[in-house]
């Protein structure tokens, strides 16, 4: 059985929203330090709904940061959930951490990641 992780959603700097992929920012310490960094396909429970998600765990190299963050783009979801606790399950590791010279290249990669995640999760 897959491990269920939980964290409250907190405010970020809205970089994801600026490129059409708003994310739920979570506490990265809920994941084991030994977990492989990168993008995962997973399931996210928000309220009484379970939705597919693109889960990122690792540093934001595009911003020159080196500390790990945890954020989830929840597919087909657009409600405000700041302060709410959400649960999630990691299914498959999709790709490793990548560096991008700008946010438009990151957006292009996210689109590819989401296509793959939809295939993996069969949605």
Q: What's the pLDDT tens digit per position in 14-23?
A: 665 565 677 8
Whole-structure pTM value? 0.91
Q: For the chain, which residues make up each domain, given as ranges? A: 4-121
According to the model, what pLDDT value does residue 15 have? 61
4-121 CATH fold: Elongation Factor Tu (Ef-tu); domain 3 (2.40.30)
Q: What single string gives the DSSP state of each residue in 83-112?
A: T-EEEEEEEEEEE-----SSHHHHHHHHHH
Paired sense of beta strands 38-46 and 68-74, if any: unpaired
Q: What's the pLDDT tens digit per position in 14-56?
A: 665 565 677 899 999 999 999 999 999 999 999 899 999 999 9
Q: What's the pLDDT tens digit per position in 88-122?
A: 999 999 999 998 888 888 889 999 999 999 999 99
Task: Count the Cβ atoms, other than its own, within 10 Å of residue 61.
Answer: 13
């Amino acid at each position: 059985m897959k491990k269920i992780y939980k964290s409250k959603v907190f405010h970020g700097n809205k970089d994801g929203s600026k490129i059409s992929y708003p994310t739920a920012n979570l506490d990265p310490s809920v994941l084991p330090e030994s977990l492989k960094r990168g993008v995962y396909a997973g399931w996210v429970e928000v309220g009484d709904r379970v939705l597919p998600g693109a889960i990122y765990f690792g540093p934001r190299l595009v911003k020159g940061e080196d500390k790990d963050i945890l954020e989830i783009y929840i597919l087909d979801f657009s409600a405000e959930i700041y302060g709410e606790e959400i649960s999630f399950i990691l299914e498959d590791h999709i790709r490793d951490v990548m560096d991008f010279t700008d946010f438009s290249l990151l957006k292009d990669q996210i689109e590819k990641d989401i296509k793959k995640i939809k295939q993996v999760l069969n949605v």
